[in-house]
Amino acid sequence: MNKKCQGCGNYLSDNINDLGYCVDINRFELCKRCFQFKHYKKVDEKKIVVKQDIDDYLKTLELKNYCVFYLVDPTNFIFDLETIKRLINSYRFYLIFNKIDYLAKKNNLEQIKEKIINNLKHNGIELQYSQILFNSIYLSYDLRKIDELVKKAHINRKKAVFLGQSNVGKSSLINKLLKLNDIDKKEFLTTSPYLNTTLKINQIKKRGLCLLDTPGYLDESNGLYELDSKRIKRLISHQWKNPITFQISSNQIFYCEDFIKLKVYLDENIDKTSITFYCPTALRIHRTSVNNEQTIDKKINNIFSDLTEFNYLTNDNFSSYDLNNSQNNLLINGVCLIKLNKGIKKIEVYKKDKIRDCLLIINLI
């Protein structure tokens, strides 16, 4: 029986060693893994999707037959450039900027869109205004427009495929589209704050639409890479409610758990400015004067007592930037966007493992 799990997309199987193992294929629509997560919140951390899996899948696609929706968020869009360059040659390509309500209100969206386009253009990617779409967990934004594009692709005998990193919101967006079309909740995809809820390709073919949900992945440059599921849940479940702003009047250091250590230097003639973190509410940030650096470095394990390793103190994953008013948005891949306000002349960023950062050429906010 070729029956797919409605949660992760694996074919249901009575073989306990298969990813899609199901206790009773005739009775249940979910594999054991998805059933246990949905009803008991149990997570199987052994089942993961790596970037190579997605790269291999993309190689099998005849892009001319697909309408591609690629999802990004404010912390990671600039780190997905190579994948975006590969996908823009599809039948139709759209970049969906998710979680946009954390950065801007509706009346600022056109300005944000222009800045996204200009950042991409600087990196060799030419997109039209109509190819940038906005989405949010809580608000609709371009939901109806996305729905129209999916249906238009279906009329032209093309499949709509949703791609993006893990936890960027692909399955949640698809569920919103299904709800918009009054499709039974039993058809909804399993969503969660954990990595790799979707493990295989999910095809959904219903009244006037055909779309594919694909597994997400994280590469080594993302801050969430290889975190345990409980910590990911803590960070992802508590989404960005309000940005966190620190008023500063001298050179400061900000420790963001074990992700980064950020040193901030002020202009000599500035006696007060601020720095704003757009990040999950649960992200813990410890702030101190640069004069206390050695003391805090030594007792950082006491400050974040549940964490054991702070390799940004000893490794060589380091960046330094001289700032100006047109360049003051720093992205830490998968972790946060940091706005460094007027009066900050220089920053130094010490990062965990292979986490990447980027000072945007054109500020988003």
Span(s) in the chain for CATH 3.40.50.300: 44-219
Q: Which CATH architecture has domain 44-219?
A: 3-Layer(aba) Sandwich (3.40)
Helix, coil or strand: residue 26: coil
In a structure prediction context, what are the per-residue pLDDT tens digits for the chain, which is 365 residues long? 677 777 666 778 778 767 677 877 887 777 777 777 666 556 555 445 566 666 776 777 788 999 999 999 999 999 999 999 999 999 999 999 988 877 876 668 899 999 999 999 999 999 999 999 999 877 778 999 999 999 999 999 999 999 988 888 888 898 888 888 887 656 655 444 434 444 467 778 777 888 888 877 778 899 988 888 788 888 876 566 678 999 999 999 999 999 999 999 999 999 899 999 999 889 999 999 999 999 999 999 999 999 999 999 999 999 999 998 788 999 999 999 999 999 999 999 999 999 999 999 999 98
Distances (CA, A) of 103 to 236, 242, 294, 337, 350: 17, 9, 34, 9, 25
Non-local CB neighbours of 181 within 8 Å, separated by 6+ positions: 147, 206, 207, 208, 209
